[in-house]
Structure 1
Amino acid sequence: MMVAAAPHAVARLRTTRLAASAKPFLARGSGGGRCEGCRLVVSHCICALKPRVRTGAGVCLIMGDIEALKPSNTGWLVADVVSDTFAFGWSRTAVDPGLLAVLCDPQWQAYLVFPGEFAAPGRVVTEVASGRSGQGKRPLFVLLDGTWSEARKMFRKSPYLDALPVLSLHPDVVSNYRLRRSSRDDHFCTSEVAALCLALAGENHASDSLAAYLDVFTEHYLSAKRSVKLDPESEAHQRLRSMVVAPPL
């Protein structure tokens, strides 16, 4: 008998947020019904391709008010892939005690991932310790998951984050994200940022798996949205299947 996997952190946050809503949240294109596991319309479900990777690193998502409700949110993909993913809603006036507990957990060295230009120079770092060395703390990447204006507000108005080192990423690639528009050309979606952080921590299989999973998710999402035929043998599909079927030892 197969036992269904327990909901991950973003799924649980979504359930909590829906329960607190005064009216149902209905995403565009939901008329045909959406899969509870991947949030795509049922005909384009990718649950069978979902990778799950053990890593020495973790991810902590601090999410804008309705981010967990959006089918296009890629923080959900991070929680699909990275076993140690935490997710909390953000509020200017209150902080979830569970978030504070995670940030204070002695197994983790938390890094607030944000452009270094917005932080005092003494807080900014560009490197992290590997989570697989067996020595010292494991890296925990704290990502502010929301629109750019939301993320800036979270950064400025979350005093409990002020003591964390700010990890400033300087990737030599450009974003391939196609599901939402950004006001800045150098912006990456949450899933892309998490993949960059994992690579920085030496978690290359997890980073590559997450990147491939995002590409497949994007193909399925846009295929359903635009009523375009899906190619299940595309390069992205083949790349992801190879990672799911034969991960490194």
Structure 2
Amino acid sequence: MKITLLTHQRELERKTNTGALALQHCGNMVERLVWARRSPAVDLVKAIECGKAVLVYPGGESRGTQLEDFAQVILIDATWQEARKIYNHSPYLKAAPRVTLTTDTASNYRLRRNQPNGGLCTAECVIEILRRHGENSAADRLHTAFIQFNQAGYARN
């Protein structure tokens, strides 16, 4: 199983970016690709075209699409506004099967404003994906790191 973070360029510099936590604590299960509007990653486009990758994105869930059925999961790692821009300007993402992550608990992420109800930050999404794929040890490591990151960042603000 591989989780691909399709990351907006601005996220690379943000101290509140939780995608970086996933990269640090999940080994080779998580990779980062910086989004390029005019030159998408060839391997990512091929994975979508071959039906090997699924996009986690809110709304319009494909019928019968199960997250666990895919070897590659794509997450857009950006602010909510930037994520919409990436999705809207990337025809190959619109061709991908889509799933929406729903959980019983609200997001614990408090370091950014304008979080939509039911929305999860990148690290929380990765934790949920790992658990659904039975990677509980990696999910636990990331969860612990996320709690510490969130608390430390909240104390700074």
Give the aligned partner of residue 37 of structure 2. Answer: 92
Alpha-carbon distance in structure 2 between the residues aligned to 1:96 and 1:126: 24
| Residue 98 of structure 1, CA deviation | 5.6
Q: Which has the larger radius of gyration?
A: 1
Give the aligned partner of residue 21 of structure 2. Answer: 77
| Residue 206 of structure 1, CA deviation | 1.4
Give the aligned partner of residue 110 of structure 1. Answer: 53
**TM-score, structure 1 normalization:** 0.56
Secondary structure of the equivalent of 2:15? coil
| Residue 162 of structure 1, CA deviation | 3.3
1:128 to 2:68 alignment: yes
Secondary structure of the equivalent of 2:9? coil
Alpha-carbon distance in structure 2 between the residues aligned to 1:141 and 1:81: 17
Alpha-carbon distance in structure 1 between the residues aligned to 2:110 and 2:53: 29
**TM-score, structure 2 normalization:** 0.84
Secondary structure of the equivalent of 2:146? helix
Which is worse superposed, 193-202 or 86-95? 86-95
Query: Cα deviations across residues 99-154 of structure 1 (Å, max 9, x unaligned)?
Result: 446x37x8x93221112x245x44x624414xxxxxxxx62221001111211122
Alpha-carbon distance in structure 2 between the residues aligned to 1:179 and 1:165: 30
Verify the 8 A CA contact 2:4 2:32 in the aligned structure 1.
Answer: yes
Alpha-carbon distance in structure 1 between the residues aligned to 2:87 and 2:60: 9
1:217 to 2:149 alignment: yes
User: Structure 1: where are the runs of 5+ without partners?
Assistant: 1-56, 130-137, 227-249
| Residue 180 of structure 1, CA deviation | 0.8
Counting aligned pairs with the same residue, the percent is 30
Superposition CA RMSD, Å: 2.4
Verify the 8 A CA contact 2:107 2:118 in the aligned structure 1.
Answer: yes
Q: How does 1:10-49 map to 2 (within 5 A)?
A: none
Query: Cα deviations across residues 8-32 of structure 1 (Å, max 9, x unaligned)?
Result: xxxxxxxxxxxxxxxxxxxxxxxxx
Secondary structure of the equivalent of 2:153? helix
2:9 to 38, 58, 65: 65
Secondary structure of the equivalent of 2:116? coil
Query: Cα deviations across residues 184-211 of structure 1 (Å, max 9, x unaligned)?
Result: 1211110001101111111122112211
Give the aligned partner of residue 96 of structure 2. Answer: 164
Verify the 8 A CA contact 1:90 1:154 in the aligned structure 2.
Answer: yes
* Greater RCO (CA < 8 Å, at least 6 residues apart): 2
1:208 to 2:153 alignment: no
Letter in 2 for 1:89: V
User: Structure 2: where are the runs of 5+ without partners?
Assistant: none
| Residue 160 of structure 1, CA deviation | 2.0
